[in-house]
Chain A
Amino acid sequence: DQQVKQNSPSLSVQEGRISILNCDYTNSMFDYFLWYKKYPAEGPTFLISISSIKDKNEDGRFTVFLNKSAKHLSLHIVPSQPGDSAVYFCAASASYGGSQGNLIFGKGTKLSVKP
């Protein structure tokens, strides 16, 4: 059973507009959430994260919002640039419990930003 779900396999956005990538989770023990970005033929790279004690974290053009009651987080990219075209993975971890803090990844959303 998927604990981290990214229900949109792909998203296409015009350059300069906002990109919103969504992620849902089921495990209420998750206390840290991360977004990774992956280009073809490369390993994932860390983008931004948020602790469960916060509801927003911002880093330049990237903002992550966390809604704990809905078990939902989203990544906003404003403005979107062609170089943002990549696969974005949502990941979550639980500091306590059986998973030993390991990351659980969603299936990814492929973002295409068109010039």
Chain B
Amino acid sequence: NAGVTQTPKFRVLKTGQSMTLLCAQDMNHEYMYWYRQDPGMGLRLIHYSVGEGTTAKGEVPDGYNVSRLKKQNFLLGLESAAPSQTSVYFCASSRSGTGQYTQYFGPGTRLTVL
């Protein structure tokens, strides 16, 4: 039982390049989330999904797109990377929404955009 895994762990991009971050969970959770964490900041929600085939915008969605084609996977895409997207990205999953359902986090992806 691996929990939540993220691929890759590290990545360096040049401005304008694109990439996809992959999140996978093996807990059969309905809800999945993408957060970013910047120095001195808490985690901010980028996008989330309440089930397979659904996605919704979070607090900071601009510059990102997501897809949830399979229940266990949640992909985060950057179409044209910008230095402001340099951050640590965390994926999380939970059985359902609201705070009473624990969110389980992956180990993070450290992205640097030059």
> A residues within 8 Å of B by Cβ?
4, 6, 9, 31-34, 36, 41-46, 49, 51, 89, 91-93, 95, 100-103, 105-108
Contacts and interface: CB of A to CB of B under 8 A. Distances in A.
Contact of B40 (A9, A33, A101, A103): A9
The 3 closest A-B pairs by CB, nearest first: A32-B99, A43-B105, A93-B99
Interface in B32-68: 33, 40-45, 48, 50, 56, 58
Contact of A49 (B48, B97, B99): B99
A24 to B, nearest CB: 13
B43 A95 contact: no
B98 interface: yes
A43 B100 contact: no
B99 A103 contact: yes
A42 B102 CA distance: 17
Contacts of B104: 46
B74 interface: no
Contacts of B45: 102-103
Given A46-B104, A49-B102, A101-B98, 19 more contacts: A6-B42, A9-B40, A32-B98, A32-B100, A33-B99, A42-B108, A43-B92, A43-B107, A44-B43, A44-B90, A46-B102, A93-B99, A95-B98, A101-B99, A102-B33, A102-B48, A102-B58, A107-B40, A107-B42
Contacts of A101: 97-99
Interface of B: 4, 33, 40-45, 48, 50, 56, 58, 90, 92, 97-100, 102-108
A41 B44 CA distance: 17
Main secondary structure of the interface of B (DSSP, over half): loop
A101 B108 CA distance: 23
Given A43-B90, A89-B42, A108-B42, A103 B103 contact: yes
A90 to B, nearest CB: 8
**Which of A4, A31, A46, A103 lies at the interface centre, i.e. has the most chain B CB atoms within 10 A of its CB?**
A103
Contacts of A34: 99
A49 B92 CA distance: 17
Nearest to B58: A102
B42 A106 contact: yes
